[in-house]
Every structure is written in C-alpha cells, then in structure tokens.
Structure 1
Amino acid sequence: MEKRGSLFLGFLFFSLVTISTGQVKEIKNSETLAMCPVPENSSPKGHSPKLFVFGDSYVDTGNLQPFRSSGGCVLTDYIASFLGINSPVQYEKRNLAENKAELKNGMNFAYGGSGVLKEAWNNHSMTIQINNFKQQIKEKVFTKYDLENSAALVSHAGNDYTYLYLNQSGTIKDVHALAGRVVDQLVKNVKEIHELGVKKIAILGSPPRGCWPQLNPRPRTNCNATWNEESRFHNQLLTEALKNVEESEKNAFVFLDLYKAMDLALQKNKENSDYENPLEPCCDGVSDEYWCGMKDQKGAEMFTVCRQPESSFFWDKVHPSQNGVHAIFLDLIPSLERLLLIC
C-alpha cells in the first residue's frame, strides 16, 4: 500500500471536521437526547447513571475541536441517549458556566487522535485522560456514590497503529507486532478505571480499518483485506485478555464488537440503492494533501461535501457519518443492555 507523507497533517488533526457549508452545526450536550434519537424501546425509564468516556475521535464530542467527527452524532451521543441522559460534558469545557448543571451526566475525557501509547497523534493518551479523571475525583467533582452509579465508554479505533504506519514509516508487520503492547496497555487502562469505582465499562473493539477511505485506495469497491485482518487480530487479543481478567472483574467489562457492527452496516448500505458508495467519504479534500475541513493559507476551503450527507456511510476518510454511526449503534444495543445492570 502506498504511504503518502503529505497526509501527516490530516492525521495529526485526526478528527478535524467542519464545516462552514451550513450543513453541520455544533451539537450541544443538552440537545443530544433529541438530536441523536434511539429506538423507543431501548432507552430505560427512570435510569440515569453517569457516563465517563475515554479514547479517541470515535467518542470525542468536542475536546479536540467543537464539532463531532461524524459531522453530527457520534457513538457517545447515542449511548448516552440509550442510558437516558444527555451526552456528558467535555473535559475541556467543564468549567463553562452553562455546563455546570450537565456534570450530572458524567464527563467526556476522550480526545481525537489519541491512543493508549505515548507515541500517538497528540499528547492526550488514555493514561493522561485517566489522570484527568482522577483529578476530578480528588477535587470531589464526582463522589463515591456517583462512581458506584456510573458506566464508562472506552474507544481505541486504531491511532497507535496508524501513527506507527504513517508517521513512523512502519510496515504492516510492525503494526501486527505492536498489537500485543497496545492491548496490554488498553486492558491495564480499563482495569484502572474499574478500580477507581466505575461499575461497568463498555470497550469498543477495533473497527474494520481496511474499510476506511484513508487506508483503502481507489477504486473503493471492497475493503482492504490486510488492514481488516489486523483489526480482527487486535480484537482477538482484546477479547482473550478480557476473558483472562480476575473473576471479580469479568462482569465489569462489556466488549462492543465495533468490527461486526460496522461491517454489517456497510453491507446493508451496499444493498440499499438509495445510498452512495458506502466506502467513499462524503467530506473529502480536493487532493490527497487535504482533509475534510482544511483550508489553504488564503482561507479558501480545500474540501468538498457530498450533496446528500444523510445518504453517506463515511463522513470523512476515517469516521462514519451520523447515518453510519446510527446504523452501528443499532447493532450494539444488545451488548449495551448489559450496562443497565449498574443500578
């Protein structure tokens, strides 16, 4: 697979999205129950736990920048709505007066571009995010009772792997060899979140990265099998590691099979003639050196947005659109029901 060094800036701002076209607006935390609806029979009644979120742009709702990476709702928004709460306050916006009341929903520490290792697209590794969480506990923003009635959502879509491959000139063999280290640190992180008092932790598996437009050169008629195999290998190691945790922790962890959910959603989109090619991004740079949302030095927009974003599956070169995220969420509902056991 050809690697293009000019894509470094795009991956550095991994979840940089947009947009000034008027098709996308910032979603406020208090709007998510209405903006990101879930099936009526999926949202529990009278159930309002706190939700704490860790990871990357697949769950970041505004720590890196104000817009969600899907151009709309991300998995955090749907899962929060499923739990009967608004999307939790972003860590970076926790001190804003209008967000004080929203602390009752928890907090989102996720940061687009992060991984579990230090060598990722920014300096907001999951370890740093957990340290930020510890500080909130130390400052008594969240009490022991809050933690006992809480759930966590953890995402690792693959930034550690893409950073190695694209920025450190790694090979697929290097990516494969890194998986053990990544999974070990990821499991260490989720165990630490649990030890801090969070009762249930939903852990997203790796998506089929070979279907990402960024890692799947044209013509995009099928997904890249090699990258998808690496995603499955990561998930295999992760599920095996979760099975091997201490018996007292087993019921705390809920594996969310993002690979299966995204693969199924892509297949359904391919079969629906109303949708565009699901493997093509809706918002894309005018050339390989530009990403969705980027401008040149004169301020000119160097990207285009498809005519029907609601008919796309991928919003940009890495992230599903709101339509794609919603389809993925629907397949995750049976697993998410295990989170309801916290109360």
Structure 2
Amino acid sequence: MCEWQIVEVIPHRLWNRPAKTLYKFPENSSPKGHSPKLFVFGDSYVDTGNLQPFRSSGGCVLTDYIASFLGINSPVQYEKRNLAENKAELKNGMNFAYGGSGVLKEAWNNHSMTIQINNFKQQIKEKVFTKYDLENSAALVSHAGNDYTYLYLNQSGTIKEVHDLAGRVVDQLVKNVKEIHELGVKKIAILGSPPRGCWPQLNPRPRTNCNGTWNEESRFHNQLLTAALENVEESTKNVFVFLDLYKAMDLALQKNKENSNYENPLEPCCDGVTDEYWCGMKDQKGAEMFTVCRQPELSFFWDKVHPSQNGVHAIFLDLIPSLERLL
C-alpha cells in the first residue's frame, strides 16, 4: 500500500508526511484545463497491484508519483476494474502492468506487454474509454529487464546471449509503443532500463559496488531504445518521452551512499532468510521466510530487484524535468 506520500516537490523544500496527494505542483505549473487519464503497461516497477495486493517497493511506485504529477490519483488496476468501489477511479485511466512480465512471450509469467495491450483494446472495444479519453491521456511504459533476467536465471543463458537478445527486445518494445500510439494515446513516457548490475539479485556479496557487466548491458539496451524512439518520433506527431531510469537511479544511489544516515544502498531491506526465498515468501507451514530491516525508510532497495519507496522518491525527483513534456 502507498502510505507515506510526498506533499510537495520543490527544490530545497522537501518533506514527507501522510497526505492525499503525492505531488503538489509548484505555483503556475499545473496542467491547464483538464486532468488526463494515465494508461500503464509493463512490469513490477509500475504495477500497483495486478500481480499481488502489495507494491514491489513496500509503498509507492513510480506510477503513483507520475499520476500525481499529472494531477490525478493512481489509475485503477486492470484486475480490480470491476470492483464496485473502483468504478469511480476509471476517470484516472487504467493500469495494465503486471509484475514479472516482459515484451516477449516467455518471461516470469504469461502477461507480456502484448497481452496487456490486448486488454487495453478490449476496454476500448467495450467503450470503457472513448476516443476523447485517449486523445487526452498519457501512457507509461516500463521494461526493467524481465526478458533478460529470465533468460539468464531461468534458462541458464550467458551474458553474451543476454547481449544478443537486446535487439529483439527493443524491436518488440518499440512495436508495442507504436501500437499504443495507434490506439489514440498521443503522449507516451517510456522508462529506460535501470542499472541492473546494482540489483542485489545480480550483484553477489560483498555489495560494495555494482556489477559493471550487467550495468553495461543496461546501457546497451538504452542506447538501442533511444535510437529507435527517435526514428519513430520523426515519423509521427506523437510525443515519446524517454525517462532515463539508469541515470536517475545511479544518481540516487550515489546520493544515498554519501548520506551517512542511510543503510548500505546496495543491500535489500526485505530479503529471504536463505537465497531460495524472496521477500514476502512463506514455507509450507505458513511461516515467514524473510526478514525486514528495522528502518525501511533508510533503505534504497526494498527487495532484490525493486527500489524502496525512499528509492522511488529519489528517482522520481530526477525524472521531473523529462515528465514535464507530458503536460
């Protein structure tokens, strides 16, 4: 659940407290005349509850911050769209993202981005969203790297095979983005790959530095993606906004590391008691097989892959200049 929320985001005036909105626009900078809908596609970095009832950060994820930046609440989850209490939230759009998904058919689950877009098409067909809704909306697309980690960890792939997969992944990702545009969404923000070499999952102890090989693969993915998006944007009237998640996370990690009040930023706050368990897992008897750090607000990573709410907040701050293109 997204509990601790940001009231205001203005340089040198930041604080946390319980509140209704995550982001309060600096004076004279809010959108004019309308509140857009937000449609979300991708993985656990933006999933607010389709895969499971809790968020991967242990709190707010990027979807929550970006929705609030647009002046709306976080959009309703696709899996919960028919619940009576969620009907009113359709005015904010819909979140189709599913934790563990990629753009290829085989990832950690069978909810690829293509399937998510097909679910979106069905909502349009059923007239849940109108042409006007789509034209006055934005989309958020995330691919943090599930296709790569699935190949490497589940299929015993090599780093070279991960590298060789990048072209295919980026081609399909761009195809998905173009399809969202063709459905009528004019503004689309695409998250780049984070520095996966900093993930505790891919960075064995002692975690004093990030894994340079995996970070290089993230940069390669982003180079291919930005080049492809530039070519697509030239041929359409669409606005494609590349959100440099690698740069934002790297900068946030450095700031976290320099602040002596914080825990080691490369260690997860919530982790399994052994390598076979993940945050949130239980054994056959229902006993919790994970531990949570004493002060989650001082961590950067929540688990082996996902930033904590503290980490997500720091990342969001660096993305604000790019997000302004969506207004």
Q: Calculate the TM-score normalised by the size of structure 2.
A: 0.92
Offset of residue 44 of structure 1: 3.9
Determine if the alignment matches structure 1 residue 313 to structure 2 residue 325.
no
Give CA-to-partner distance per residue, 1:296-339, whole Å, 9 cap, x none: 1111111000000000000000000000000000000000000x
The offset of 1:218, in angstroms, is: 0.2
Segment of structure 1 superposing worse, 163-172 or 41-50? 41-50
Label 1:87 to 1:186 Cα distance change in 2 as closer, same or farther (>3 A).
same
- After superposition, the Cα gap between the structure-2 partners of 1:28 and 1:331, relative to the gap in structure 1 and judged at 3 Å, is closer
Structure 1 position 36, deviation (Å): 6.7
Q: Which moved more, 1:32-41 or 1:128-137?
A: 32-41
Query: CA distance change for structure 1 residues 140 and 87 in 2, over 3 Å: closer, same or farther?
Result: same
Aligned pair in 2 of structure 1 residues 205, 250: CA closer, same or farther (>3 Å)?
farther
Shift, 1:42, TM fit: 6.3
Q: What CA deviation, in whole Å up to 9, does each residue of 1:257-292 have, x standing for no partner?
A: 000000000000000001000000000000100000
1: CA distance, partners of 2:15 / 2:124: 25
Which structure has more strand as a fraction of its residues? 2
Structure ranking higher on relative contact order (CA contacts 8 Å, 6+ apart): 1
Rounded to whole Å, the distance in 2 between the matches of 1:37 and 1:110 is 25
Asked if 1 retains the 8 angstrom alpha-carbon contact of 2:96 and 2:119, the reply is yes
Report the CA distance between 1:245 and its aligned residue.
1.5
The answer (yes or no) to whether the contact 1:42–1:82 under 8 Å persists in 2 is no
Whole-Å separation in 2 of the counterparts to 1:40 and 1:303: 44
- In 2, Cα distance between equivalents of 1:308 and 1:115: 32
Is the contact between residue 242 and residue 250 of structure 1 (CA under 8 Å) also seen in structure 2?
A: no
Contact 1:313 1:323 in 2 (8 A): yes
Deviating beyond 6 angstroms after TM superposition, the runs of 4 or more aligned structure 1 residues are: 26-32, 36-42
Residues 35-72 of structure 1: CA deviation (Å, up to 9, x unaligned): 67777776546541000000000000000001110000
| Contact in 2 for aligned 1:277/1:312 (Cα 8 Å) | yes
2:101 maps to: 114
Q: Calculate the aligned-residue CA RMSD, in Å.
A: 3.1
- Measured against aligned partners, the alpha-carbon deviations of 1:211-230 in whole angstroms (never above 9, x if no partner) come to 00000000000000000000
Q: 1:114 to 1:64 in 2, by over 3 A?
A: same
Change (3 A) 1:185 1:270: same
In structure 2, the CA distance between the partners of 1:28 and 1:182, relative to structure 1 (3 Å rule), is farther
- Larger deviation, residues 39-48 vs 296-305: 39-48
Residues 257 and 216 of structure 1: CA distance in aligned 2, closer, same or farther (over 3 Å): same
Q: In the alignment, is the contact (CA less than 8 A) between 1:290 and 1:302 conserved in 2?
A: yes
TM-superposed deviation, 1:253: 0.6
Q: Give the unaligned 5+ runs of structure 1.
A: 1-25
CA shift in 2, pair 1:78/1:246, >3 Å? closer
**Superposition pairs of residues 77-96 of structure 1, within 5 angstroms:** 77-96=64-83
**Match of residue 134, structure 1, among 113, 117, 121:** 121
Distance 1:67 1:278, change over 3 A: same
Contact 1:194-1:252 within 8 A present in 2 as well: no
Q: 1:68 to 1:41 in 2, by over 3 A?
A: farther
How far off its partner does 1:252 sit?
1.8
| Conservation of the 8 A alpha-carbon contact between 1:50 and 1:146 | yes
Distance 1:58 1:253, change over 3 A: same
Post-superposition shift, 1:247?
2.3
CA distance 1:284–1:246, shift in 2 (3 Å): closer
Cα distance, 1:243 vs structure 2: 1.2
- Asked if structure 2 preserves the Cα contact closer than 8 Å seen for 1:117 and 1:160, the reply is yes
**Aligned pairs, how many?**
315
Given that 1:61 and 1:108 are in contact with CA atoms closer than 8 Å, whether structure 2 keeps it comes out as yes
Between the aligned partners of 1:149 and 1:62, the Cα distance in structure 2 is: 25
Q: 1:236 to 1:84 in 2, by over 3 A?
A: same
In the TM superposition, what whole-angstrom CA distance separates every residue of 1:193-223 from its partner, at most 9, and x where no partner exists?
Answer: 0000001000000000000000000000000
Shift, 1:249, TM fit = 2.3
**Offset at residue 244 of structure 1 (A):** 1.3
**Residue 16 (structure 2) aligns with:** 29
* SS of 2:207 mapped into structure 1: coil
Deviations 1:57-110 (A, max 9, x none): 000000000111000000000000000000000000000000000000000000
1:154-178 residue CA offsets vs partner (Å, 9 max, x unmatched)? 0000000000000111000000000
Cα pair 2:22 2:68 within 8 Å, conserved: no
Which stretches in structure 2 are left out of the alignment for 5+ residues?
A: 1-12
